[in-house]
Amino acid sequence: MQWLPAALLIAVTALPAQALEIRPVRVSVPADAAQADLWLDNPGSTAWRGQARLYRWEQAGDQERLLPADDVAVSPTHLAIAPGGGQRVRVVRLGTAPAAVEQAYRLVLSPGPEAAAGAARYSLPVFFEPSIPATGSRLRVAAAGSPAAPVLRLYNEGAAHAHLADLVYVDARGRRQPLIDGLAGYVLPHSTRSWALPPRPDGYADGRFLARLDHAAEAILAAPPAEIAARAGAGL
């Protein structure tokens, strides 16, 4: 099965003249609706031309995969936004709403071949909500790396995606070590994501990881996994 590399998941830094203003930056389609809109505004002095495509978004084996999708559509697919102008883009579910688990896609906006070097490629998360209301994300530690190469690996056993921001480690003495400022990433339903951690002399023993989960206040993610903790006196 063909898939696109995870590089498409990250918007490349754009030249000011080629940047778009996008609202919202995350699209959610309720089960009782078949479509949702977003707006693209071009504040630059030159036209923005490109195309819009929707891909199924999966996380497998710590890889972000974008797969061809024929159960959703985007309109229009070809974009030409005049300087100072705007464009409404519609994402549409072609079939029925998912039954119990949220479905995730990525809307990729790619500039045309005439775009200036450095023009942005944008990738926005799109979520189709299930008919049975999802209770939210439920994260647990699935595995971890070695003391020499510590990894925080989180599994989402919930029916909706988890949105993580401002990842912090707090050691046994209450001292905070910021790990990721701002968005850490998403963990899709029934999927796993990993974050490499900087080595610590204590091997992340007896502390805890905190993050803002699903745009809420800071909360404890999980107890540090035993696989990360260094053996007594082993050091790193």
Q: Cα separation of 13 and 88, whole Å?
A: 23
CB 187 within 8 A of CB 156: yes
CB 118 within 8 A of CB 79: no
What integer best gives the mean pLDDT of the chain?
85
**Residues contacting residue 175 through CB under 8 Å, at least 6 positions apart:** none
In the structure, what pLDDT confidence band is assigned to residue 141 with cuts at 50, 70 and 90?
confident
The letter for the amino acid at 232 is A
Q: Cα separation of 88 and 207, whole Å?
A: 47
In the structure, what pLDDT confidence band is assigned to residue 2 with cuts at 50, 70 and 90?
very low
- pLDDT tens for each residue of 89-104: 999 999 999 999 999 9
209 pLDDT higher than 80: yes
156-160 average pLDDT score? 92
Nearest CA-CA partner of 52 in 40, 43, 65, 67? 40
- pLDDT tens for each residue of 163-203: 999 999 999 899 999 999 999 999 999 999 998 999 888 88
Q: Cα separation of 148 and 10, whole Å?
A: 28
Nearest CA-CA partner of 47 in 87, 10, 12? 87
Between 19 and 89, name the one with better pLDDT: 89
30-34 average pLDDT score? 95
Domains and CATH numbers, the chain: 6-128 (2.60.40.10), 139-222 (2.60.40)
70 pLDDT higher than 80: yes
Q: Cα separation of 194 and 183, whole Å?
A: 14
pLDDT value of residue 143: 59
DSSP type of residue 34: S
Nearest CA-CA partner of 104 in 151, 181, 142, 156? 156
pLDDT value of residue 226: 54
